[in-house]
Structure 1
């Protein structure tokens, strides 16, 4: 990818804690577990975030293996901790299994997977802006 590009996705509410994410014609449901008041019809947004990181690492790993003409078959397992004050992911640990990777390539392989776009974003946070649109009435929310 030689230049940056802009993409758009849309999230719509589907009742309760259920949302649908529309991405390039694909649909992904997001929901909260039942013990958090949801219906558990899909992963949480946080689970998708961690899954996105793990999938991005896996994709970069497979591309590396393909370029080096090594056997495919990477598996990434993610474990994560949720922190409070503020609510956030406080720790993510990724185990990357690459059975066909020769020991001599471990360092270059690790360098490649550490630079996947999602991981890079965690270290160079994007500018995030919020534009609140209403149907003619200004919504006012007072936060303590």
Structure 2
């Protein structure tokens, strides 16, 4: 078994804006103004949905030839339903995270509908981000001074 460790660093810059860095890359996350931010970037849950969609596209592109899918183009639109009363504390019974996530695949390929449906099942099963969401990993937190 080959285990590779991935690491990001998230650091507050101003207000609720956060700089996220990994391997020399950086992006900014923020909240929309109606949620207390300055709307300078996606918020974390939008980034999560984006990471899920990107992962599915990468899996699709990486395995298309192996599965004999003549993939001309692919787009994955991901939507999540989240009750903001959960994380804001307004409703202690509301789920804090997403209650539902839907992926819509837009695939242009010279394959049958059945072959494409089988391939989408493979993509969903093979995507590491989807697996992480569906099968929560062990989580640990440490306070470093």
Q: What TM-score range do you get, normalising by the shorter chain?
A: 0.7 to 0.9
Cα distance change of structure 1 residues 99 and 80 upon mapping to structure 2, 3 Å threshold: same
Q: Does 1:59 align with 2:68?
A: no
Segments of structure 2 that go 5 or more residues without pairing to the other structure are 87-93
Match of 1:77 in 2: 77
For the aligned residue pairs, the C-alpha RMSD in angstroms reads: 1.6
After TM superposition, the score normalised by the length of structure 2 is 0.84
How many residues are matched? 133
Runs ≥4 residues deviating over 6 A? none
Query: Where in structure 2 are the equivalents of 1:1-144 lying within 5 Å?
Result: 3-67=2-66, 68=68, 70-83=70-83, 84=86, 85-103=94-112, 104-115=114-125, 116-134=127-145
CA distance in 2, matches of 1:42, 1:35: 14
Structure 1 or 2, whichever has the larger Rg, is: 1
Segments of structure 1 that go 5 or more residues without pairing to the other structure are 135-144
After TM superposition, the score normalised by the length of structure 1 is 0.84
Cα distance change of structure 1 residues 117 and 111 upon mapping to structure 2, 3 Å threshold: same
